[in-house]
Each structure stands twice: as structure tokens, then as C-alpha cells.
Amino acid sequence: MVSDVLKTIEEKMKHSIKSFHADLATIRTGHASPALIEHVRVEYAGVPMSLNQLAGITAPEAGMLVIQPWDKNSIRDIEKAIAKSELGLNPTNDGNIIRIAIPPLSEERRQELTKIVHKRTEERRIIIRNMRHEALNDLKKMEREKTASQDEVKRAEVQLQKLTDFHILEAEKASQNKEKELMEV
């Protein structure tokens, strides 16, 4: 029972770190990356969809993204969604494909993006700590219901803290890597 709680929480924490990496990939650096826009929500035929479900996205060069819609009728919706996104990108449409020039980042914009990375890292730490709190509650409940001994719960709490520390450290490493990437000129 106690090991089930630890396995479950470890899986949740791993998933949280994986989604954090995906979240950081959406923060723009000076380099073009399809991950930057693939999750932009596009309203197409009345249904909100991720951009990567409507088009192929490539980065043929360091400062350019090319979007090839699978349905030519969706090109206006895609262009509108990218323009409305908080990414500050300016799509150009030639009727068949959409091109997005990724401008180099100014020092001021790099610092703003670094602050965003810090904010998202802190949010991820809070999420992981909340997961730990949830697992601690489950362990305490098991102890109260006598389905786990006090010693088992204490050992599980130590393991839980190690898991929490490890995953918070993973989030911080990902954050530091993103900051280095942002500061590259």
C-alpha cells in the first residue's frame, strides 16, 4: 500500500517535469524551433485545436519557421491564432504556407523571458510540493486506518522527501538550461 502511494506520486512528478520541459520549449529564444508554436490553439471549423494537428511545422533555418497547413482553408485561422498569441510573432501568408521570421531578442526581452522562466519554475516547484502534500495526507490516512505501521509511514515520508527534492532539482536544471539558451546571442 505504502509503495503504491510512492509509485503513484513518483509517476505524477515525472509527468510534471516532462510537461515542464514542454512548457519551457514554448518560450522563445533567438533560435527558431517548431516547439515554440506547435501548441498554439487555433479555432478551426468551430473547434479549438493545437497547431501541430492542423499543419506541419519546420525550421528550415535558425531564424525562420515554416507552417504547411494540411488544409489550405485553415491558413487564415492559423495566421490569426499566431498573431493573437502572446509570442509576439508576425506571420506572413503567401496562400500556401505561412512563414514566421524569428527576430533576434533584445537584451530587455531576454531579461523579461528569464523572469517568465523563473515564474514558471516556481509554479512547478509549488505543483511538486502540492503532490508531496497530497501523498503525505494519503500516508497519514493509512496510518490512522492502521493499514500501514508508523515505521512504514516514516520510511515512506523520507523517500517522499527524496523524490520531491530530486524532481525540484530537475525543474531547476531545466530552468537553468533555458536561461543559458536565452542569454546566448
Q: What digits encode the pLDDT tens for the residues 123-139?
A: 999 999 999 999 999 99
* Whether 162 and 110 share a structural domain: yes
Q: What global pTM score does this model have?
A: 0.70
By three-state DSSP, how is residue 139 classified? Answer: helix
Last residue of a domain, one of 101, 120, 137: 101
- DSSP lists the bridge partners of residue 69 as 55
Last residue of a domain, one of 101, 127, 143: 101
Last residue of a domain, one of 66, 84, 101: 101
* Whether 120 and 153 share a structural domain: yes
| Rounded Cα distance, 37 and 20, in Å | 16
The closest of 137, 134, 132, 118 to 167, measured between CA atoms, is 132
pLDDT exceeds 90 at position 15: yes
* Whether 74 and 138 share a structural domain: no
pLDDT more than 90, % of the chain: 36
- DSSP lists the bridge partners of residue 42 as 49
- What domain range includes position 111? 2-25+106-183
User: Please, are residues 13 and 163 in contact by the beta-carbon 8 Å criterion?
Assistant: yes
* Whether 19 and 110 share a structural domain: yes
By three-state DSSP, how is residue 50 classified? Answer: strand
pLDDT exceeds 90 at position 122: yes
Domain count, the chain: 2
By three-state DSSP, how is residue 100 classified? Answer: strand
Q: What is the mean pLDDT of residues 153-175?
A: 94
- The CATH number covering residue 67 comes to 3.30.1360.40
- The CATH number covering residue 13 comes to 1.10.132.20
Question: Quick one: cell of 15?
Answer: 509527468
* Whether 176 and 124 share a structural domain: yes
* Whether 110 and 95 share a structural domain: no
* Whether 94 and 144 share a structural domain: no
